[in-house]
């Protein structure tokens, strides 16, 4: 059975990990979406005026979604968590506010990948320096690599 074509527009974000593997994240949008609905406040607090990524309790900018679903066309029900103070909350937010949150999450992902690449490079440089020092000191021999040494003439 053939599936109906997907008429939703999409964009792809590619993230290249230090290992060389590529992760692709596909974002879909439905052209039939209605304009965004006004956001409803969080259960325990006011909707954050600084964005969904900012904790209303401790002002950390590390708030992330733990669950989400489309509430109505143009509005999303999102459960949020702050890893800094363990605050949680949920609410229904407009597509515009969720899009801004998504941009912040993308920026955070980009920062994590940059940090991971820097850390990986620093670790590799340290390993290379130790290996070179061991070679210079004669602490590494051909036998260390499982191959018998070639006979000396």
| Winning range, highest mean pLDDT, from 13-17, 31-35, 136-140 | 136-140
Residue 99 has φ and ψ, to the nearest 5°, of: -65, -40
Please check whether residue 23 is in contact with residue 15, taking contact to mean a CB–CB distance below 8 angstroms. Answer: yes
**Inside any domain, residue 63:** yes
Gap between the Cα atoms of 120 and 114, Å rounded:
10
- Report the DSSP beta bridge partners of residue 115: none
Residues with Cβ within 8 Å of 94's Cβ and at least 6 positions away in sequence, in order, are 36, 37, 38, 39, 74, 75
| Residue range of the domain that includes 71 | 36-136
**Inside any domain, residue 29:** no
**Inside any domain, residue 64:** yes
Residues with Cβ within 8 Å of 129's Cβ and at least 6 positions away in sequence, in order, are none
Total domains, the chain: 1
Q: What does the mean pLDDT of the chain come to?
A: 77
The predicted-structure confidence for 107-138, as pLDDT tens digits, reads as follows 999 998 999 999 999 889 889 989 989 988 98
Look at the pTM and tell me if it is higher than 0.95: no
**Inside any domain, residue 143:** no
At 78, is the secondary structure helix, strand, or coil?
Answer: strand
**Inside any domain, residue 66:** yes
**Inside any domain, residue 91:** yes
**Tokens standing for 46?**
């006011």
For residue 41, pLDDT beyond 50: no
Gap between the Cα atoms of 98 and 77, Å rounded:
10
Q: Which one-letter DSSP state was computed for residue 71?
A: E
Tell which wins on pLDDT, 49 or 91.
91
**Inside any domain, residue 71:** yes
Gap between the Cα atoms of 153 and 150, Å rounded:
9
**Inside any domain, residue 21:** no
Distance of CA 34 to the CA centre of its chain: 28
Length of the chain: 153
């Amino acid at each position: 059975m053939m599936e109906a074509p997907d008429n939703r527009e999409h964009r792809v974000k590619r993230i290249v990990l230090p290992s060389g593997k590529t992760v692709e994240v596909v974002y879909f949008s439905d052209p039939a979406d209605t304009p965004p609905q006004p956001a409803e406040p969080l259960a325990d607090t006011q909707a954050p005026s600084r964005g969904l990524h900012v904790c209303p309790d401790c002002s950390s900018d590390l708030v992330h979604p733990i669950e989400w679903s489309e509430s109505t066309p143009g509005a999303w029900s999102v459960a949020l968590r702050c890893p800094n103070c363990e605050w949680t909350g949920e609410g229904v937010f407009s597509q515009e506010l969720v899009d801004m949150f998504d941009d912040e999450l993308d920026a955070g992902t980009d920062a994590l990948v940059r940090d991971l690449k820097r850390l990986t490079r620093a670790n590799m440089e340290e390993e290379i320096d130790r290996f070179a020092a061991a070679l210079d000191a004669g602490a590494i021999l051909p036998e260390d690599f499982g191959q018998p040494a070639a006979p000396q003439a």
